[in-house]
Amino acid sequence: MRCLLVTPPMIQLNTPYPATAYLCGFLRQHAQGLRLEVTQADASIELFLRLFSAPLLTRMAEQLRGRARAARRRPDMPPAIAHFLEHAQRYIDTVEPTVRFLQHRDPSLALRIVGRGFLPEGPRFEQVDEEPLLNAFGTLGTTEQARYLASLYVDDLADVWRIGIDPRFELARYAERLAASAPTFDPLHEALHAPPTLVDLMLDELTRELLAAQRPDVVALTAPFPGNVYGAFRMARVIRAHAPQTTLVLGGGWVNTELRALREPRVFDYFDYVTLDDGERPLLNLLTRLAGDDVPLVRTWLRRQGQVVYEHDATQRDFPQQDTGVPTYDGLPLEKYVSVLEMLNPMHRFWSDGRWNKITLAHGCYWKQCTFCDVSLDYIGRYDKPATELVVQRIRALVAETGQTGFHLVDEAAPPAGMRSLAKRLVEEKLSITWWGNIRFEKSFTPELCALLSQSGCVAVSGGLEVASDRLLKLMKKGVTVEQVARVTRAFTDAGIMVHAYLMYGFPTETTQDTVDALERVRQLFAAGCIQSAYWHRFAATAHPPIGLNPAAYGITLRPPAQISFAHNDVAFEDPTGTDHDLLGVGLRKALYNYMHGIGFDMDVRQWFAPGTVPGTTVPADLIESCLA
């Protein structure tokens, strides 16, 4: 039996999403008795490379010109399209060399790109001459500068694809809105039956090629995010049409959070099975059953006599992390991933730049208490940490396989004791890697531990400071205080480890004063050199966290859709506090952008908001300095 694991488009371009690598490693270790051949493919990077090629830009230009002729409306064209059509031949001539450059396969092109005469420069380049953008690179850093310019060029082309050809297309997501908390299947169904765009046609074409090359008996697609769902269903549709005997399975992070109450039978026109939570056990049992053995299914939706049914045998245990095997990237085109540099912010670059092997220290979160987090779901709530020995073995195997020594710890929150133990082993064994990951700002991250982590190759951490208010941190059961975060982040910074803080606004009961005061604390943390990077997320109520399960305890009322037969996660809510969070969001983002460029620390935080809309801060001007003292 041949089983193909697929990441559908679109998702990050710089490195493979790890789900297929994990499952591929696991199945190769555990399914030997089934005479199973397991392969994997990344349709996301393949679709990107197809769209960003000379033949496809030629087709895009023809299609746009044809439409412009038919509409006789060229003067009204959006700037991105008008610029592309005016310089179409230059785009066609430069796209493949530029993609090769972003794949690190042609570094010498940097000199031509920074000369500013090689690439056509569309609307995205308007920001380039603004301070402090290019100055950030100084007089050195030609390659960095060139990658930034080449990324703007890719963004310009992505805008042309989106505005001119398919409004659902983005570089890291495709048709996301059709799947994000969509209570009914109708919009997705209609989109799948609408006349195909050029992007659709390319995805259909590469799916047929994948089928012809691999001839799988089973295709398992992962949908980690809403932006992969349309791609997954579209690929499934093509597979159904061209190889109807193939068994199709859907799983992944989006499925795990959004399809827990699935009632829509039409999903099974595309997929035979939909599995929830970690894929190892459900997929192994399913494959075993398809191979002819009578084993029970685990956490699996299917359609029987027109009805959606859920099969789960609770006696079948998940595999402990100790037994999930070594992930493998075998079969994925590691040399084809592109490193884009869209933001000058150093921490954001970790997400979009460079190829990182993904590894976890543990399954789930050791804290599992935050009231806005999916602590009731398996991926957070089931904490399981394998021995450090095994983590080191996996690191060694991935370095040997990929030749690359960069690691992203994709734990929900890496446990400090596990990080210490890993760092000691890395230092003792002189295993030279570069690594970064997500943590909680625990007080156990002492200056001594931070120094050890740095010595072992840790270069960056990210963690939640959330609302930066002790009252709200307590309400969200984050288990940290602003003072603690100040000390811990300073210890990381002093050890040479970059710190990114996840920030949140719009939490239940949050007032305008809370938000202004939170910004003042964040200002002081930047000014004191505790954090170098941050991002404000707007709080969204979702179905599975404690807040979604018991909203009254947080003073809010949920307004879920009347009928839910398909996806369900985000839930609209009412907060009687009545704060205008939309108004505040703009000012918060503006302030942060400036702080990340080292600007505006001496400004009163009120100045980031519309005049007269917010009160002054009540936070003492030396709060963070006194915490550090």
Select from 426, 346, 442 the least CA-distant residue to 394.
426
Instruction: Return d(Cα 555, Cα 475) in angstroms, integer.
Output: 11
β-pair partners for 500: 462, 533
- Tokens describing residue 194: 């609408």
Distance, CA of 18 to chain centre = 11
Q: Which stretch binds ligand SF4 (CB under 6 A): 52-60, 173-181, 247-255, 369-377?
A: 369-377
Shortest distance (Å) from residue 375 CB to ligand SF4: 5
By three-state DSSP, how is residue 462 classified? strand
Shorter beta-carbon distance to ligand SF4: residue 156 or 466: 466
Shorter beta-carbon distance to ligand SF4: residue 218 or 370: 370
Count H helices, E strands: the chain? Answer: 23, 15
The yes or no reply on residue 618 touching ligand SF4 (CB under 6 A) is: no
The yes or no reply on residue 46 touching ligand SF4 (CB under 6 A) is: no
Shorter beta-carbon distance to ligand SF4: residue 457 or 545: 545
Residue 5: is it exposed, middle or buried by C-beta count within 10 angstroms (0-12/13-18/19+)?
buried
The yes or no reply on residue 367 touching ligand SF4 (CB under 6 A) is: yes
DSSP 61-86: HHHHHHHHHHHT-GGG--HHHHHHHH
Within 10 A of 604 (CB to CB), how many other CB atoms are there? 11
The yes or no reply on residue 547 touching ligand SF4 (CB under 6 A) is: no
Select from 167, 130, 177 the least CA-distant residue to 152.
130
Residue of 200, 353, 412, 520 that binds ligand SF4 (CB under 6 A):
412
Q: Which stretch binds ligand SF4 (CB under 6 A): 300-308, 366-374, 441-449, 617-625?
A: 366-374
Instruction: Return d(Cα 405, Cα 392) in angstroms, integer.
Output: 12
Q: Which stretch binds ligand SF4 (CB under 6 A): 36-44, 64-72, 252-260, 373-381?
A: 373-381
Rg (CA), the chain: 25
Site for ligand SF4 in 440-479 (CB under 6 A): 440, 464
The yes or no reply on residue 373 touching ligand SF4 (CB under 6 A) is: yes
The yes or no reply on residue 432 touching ligand SF4 (CB under 6 A) is: no
The yes or no reply on residue 368 touching ligand SF4 (CB under 6 A) is: yes
| E strands, 145-285, in order | 218-222, 247-251, 273-275
Q: Which stretch binds ligand SF4 (CB under 6 A): 222-230, 353-361, 372-380, 420-428?
A: 372-380
Shorter beta-carbon distance to ligand SF4: residue 240 or 368: 368
The yes or no reply on residue 413 touching ligand SF4 (CB under 6 A) is: yes
Shortest distance (Å) from residue 383 CB to ligand SF4: 9
The yes or no reply on residue 225 touching ligand SF4 (CB under 6 A) is: no
The yes or no reply on residue 329 touching ligand SF4 (CB under 6 A) is: no
Contacts with 541 (C-beta within 8 Å, 6 or more apart), sequence order:
547, 548, 551, 556, 558, 570, 571, 572, 573
- Tokens describing residue 283: 């997929």
Shortest distance (Å) from residue 440 CB to ligand SF4: 5
Shortest distance (Å) from residue 461 CB to ligand SF4: 13
Shorter beta-carbon distance to ligand SF4: residue 47 or 380: 380
φ, ψ dihedrals at 201, nearest 5°: -60, -40
Contacts with 305 (C-beta within 8 Å, 6 or more apart), sequence order:
none
Instruction: Return d(Cα 245, Cα 455) in angstroms, integer.
Output: 54
The yes or no reply on residue 48 touching ligand SF4 (CB under 6 A) is: no
Q: Which stretch binds ligand SF4 (CB under 6 A): 323-331, 365-373, 419-427, 511-519?
A: 365-373
Shortest distance (Å) from residue 369 CB to ligand SF4: 6
The yes or no reply on residue 101 touching ligand SF4 (CB under 6 A) is: no
Residue of 89, 127, 369, 432 that binds ligand SF4 (CB under 6 A):
369
Residue of 365, 422, 468, 584 that binds ligand SF4 (CB under 6 A):
365
Site for ligand SF4 in 113-172 (CB under 6 A): none
Q: Which stretch binds ligand SF4 (CB under 6 A): 360-368, 415-423, 452-460, 512-520?
A: 360-368
Shorter beta-carbon distance to ligand SF4: residue 211 or 365: 365
Q: Does 343 sit behind a cis peptide bond, omega within 30 degrees of 0 on the bond before it? A: no
Q: Please list the alpha-helical segments (H only) found in 328-387.
A: 346-352, 378-381
Shorter beta-carbon distance to ligand SF4: residue 83 or 544: 544
Q: Which stretch binds ligand SF4 (CB under 6 A): 129-137, 363-371, 505-513, 580-588?
A: 363-371
The yes or no reply on residue 375 touching ligand SF4 (CB under 6 A) is: yes
Shortest distance (Å) from residue 417 CB to ligand SF4: 15
21: Cα within 13 Å, side-chain hemisphere: 23
Q: What is the 3-state secondary structure (H, E, C) of 203-237?
A: HHHHHHHHHHHHCCCEEEEECCCHHHHHHHHHHHH
Q: Is the dihedral of CA 210, 213, 217, 222 positive or negative?
A: negative
Contacts with 22 (C-beta within 8 Å, 6 or more apart), sequence order:
324, 327
The yes or no reply on residue 287 touching ligand SF4 (CB under 6 A) is: no
Residue of 38, 362, 380, 472 that binds ligand SF4 (CB under 6 A):
380
Find the angle CA(108)-CA(110)-CA(114) to the nearest 5 degrees.
145
Shortest distance (Å) from residue 466 CB to ligand SF4: 8
Shorter beta-carbon distance to ligand SF4: residue 3 or 473: 473
The yes or no reply on residue 199 touching ligand SF4 (CB under 6 A) is: no
Distance, CA of 295 to chain centre = 35
Q: Is the dihedral of CA 293, 297, 303, 307 positive or negative?
A: positive
Q: How many residues bind ligand SF4 (CB under 6 A)?
A: 12
The yes or no reply on residue 370 touching ligand SF4 (CB under 6 A) is: yes
Instruction: Return d(Cα 192, Cα 173) in angstroms, integer.
Output: 16
Write out the residues near ligand SF4 by the rule CB under 6 A. Answer: 365, 367-370, 373, 375, 380, 412-413, 440, 464
